[in-house]
Amino acid sequence: MIHAQRVMPLNDRPPVTGRYVLYWMQQAQRTEYNHALEYATRQANALGLPLVCVFGLTDEFPETNLRHYTFMMQGLAEVSDALAERGIRFVMLRQAPDSAALRLASDAALLVTDRGYLRVQVEWRRRVAEAAPCPVMQVETDVVVPVEVVSDKEEYAARTIRPRIHKHLLEYLKPLAQTKPMHDSTGLDLDVEDLRPSLATLDGLSMDRTVGPVSAFTGGGAEARRLLSEFIAEKLADYDELRNDPSLDFVSHMGPYLHFGQISPLDIALQVIEADSPGEEAFIEELVVRRELSMNLVRYNPGYDTYEAAVPEWARRTLAAHQADPREYLYDLEHLEQADTHDEYWNAAQNEMLRTGKMHNYMRMYWGKKILEWTPTAREGFEIALNLNNKYSLDGRDPNSFAGVAWCFGKHDRPWQQRDIFGTVRYMNANGLRRKFDMDAYLRKVDG
């Protein structure tokens, strides 16, 4: 079902006649469990019109490179095939997402899109809603509980958002039925030069190619569902106990797929609950409470990517008070980027990200805490951590990335024991890693 709270009109244009209903795909790059696509299909059927899907492929997306584009294109090739099978024309244009949507909006009776929370995504939608001659509807499909249903303000911590999410969780854990379009649109004459969604198409785009594709993760909904099935069958039962151990592989690996909208969090949640496993509670906590806390941050804090706005006042105060503390180790961006520090665990974490496009969740915390410790100011550390994460992680620039980096600097956390450099911001060290995990095994895992 599609709850009314998922649907938001972005302008107040009166109904117009048109040749088709347009689904502008941007954040939710999938055909399964996509409320926006289903909403668009039902509207098209109600209006007796065919449905067309448009996607704008730009090489000017901030901070992206061949690694991100390859993963995304693997998913889009699959989307293109799946839409064709359902009789829906998929149009990929070499244009910015907003201008691609507007290019086809002129002949649309209605434009439907999905929702993204980053500034650039909000801005694209604002421009489309303003310039489109037809009504524009946004359907929120990349969270389990719609962000504004959970809270109308920036939440302070997981403990404040948790009860607000759980209050609505059952209500939103509802399957989504798939509707078949009444009219086939694959043969529609649209007078556009569209791109073929394939890896070869990337050759024609100008982008940063210094960060290459990874073999550790293949993009696309099929691969996401395969990994999810494997996780549920072999790892979920021990998730609570073993998820933090970086020498093991007891995580779901859903991050990159969620980032590109290649799988739906609702779909994941329903499958995990269906499995009736002891790991359910811990997993839902990560997938829904903590993930949607990061959506809350990006939605309500316009400076989510800056030190001054994203890091809370108490943390900035205590870090500023320790600004002048001597640093035993100091590294610049280049040395950190090349995993060239005195700390073999940190280097391994950085190398894991460089080589696989993903860093183990627990090491991400350690990694960020050490950047804070080894850079001249907390502000510089914050910027370096964000920069490296966005560049090399497949899920860089996700709300989770911004929240995760900010957490290392005190966001969504509480003060702890006073110490040098950190003040009362939570500290982590290598002894903790060794105490809890087989770190030699982690080093072998990354280097092997």
Partner DNA sequence: ATCGGCTCGCGCAA
Partner DNA sequence: TGCGCGAAGCCGAT
Which spans of this chain sit near DNA (rule: CB under 7 A)?
A: 155-160, 162-163, 244, 286, 290, 293-294, 313-314, 318, 361-362, 365, 403-404, 407, 412-418, 424, 426-429, 431-433, 435-436
From start to end of 209-335, where are the E strands?
A: none
Residue whose CB is less far from DNA, 57 or 288: 288
Nearest Cα to Cα of residue 70 among 274, 180, 217: 217
Residue type, 194: D
CA distance 392 to 359: 10
Residue 297 burial class via C-beta count within 10 angstroms: exposed 0-12, middle 13-18, buried 19 and up = buried
Secondary structure element (H or E) that encloses residue 35, with its range = helix 35-47
CB of 250 to DNA, least distance (A): 12
User: Under a CB-based contact definition with an 8 Å cutoff, are residues 126 and 118 in contact?
Assistant: no
CB of 432 to DNA, least distance (A): 2
Residue whose CB is less far from DNA, 199 or 416: 416
User: Under a CB-based contact definition with an 8 Å cutoff, are residues 38 and 81 in contact?
Assistant: no
Number of H helices, E strands in the chain: 21, 6
Residue whose CB is less far from DNA, 329 or 416: 416
CB of 157 to DNA, least distance (A): 4
CB of 425 to DNA, least distance (A): 10
Residue length of the chain:
448
CB of 446 to DNA, least distance (A): 19
CB of 386 to DNA, least distance (A): 15
Residue whose CB is less far from DNA, 73 or 310: 310
Any idea which residue has 């492929």 for tokens?
57
Pure H helices in 132-279: 147-150, 158-172, 221-234, 239-242, 255-259, 265-274
Residue whose CB is less far from DNA, 340 or 420: 420
Residue whose CB is less far from DNA, 155 or 383: 155
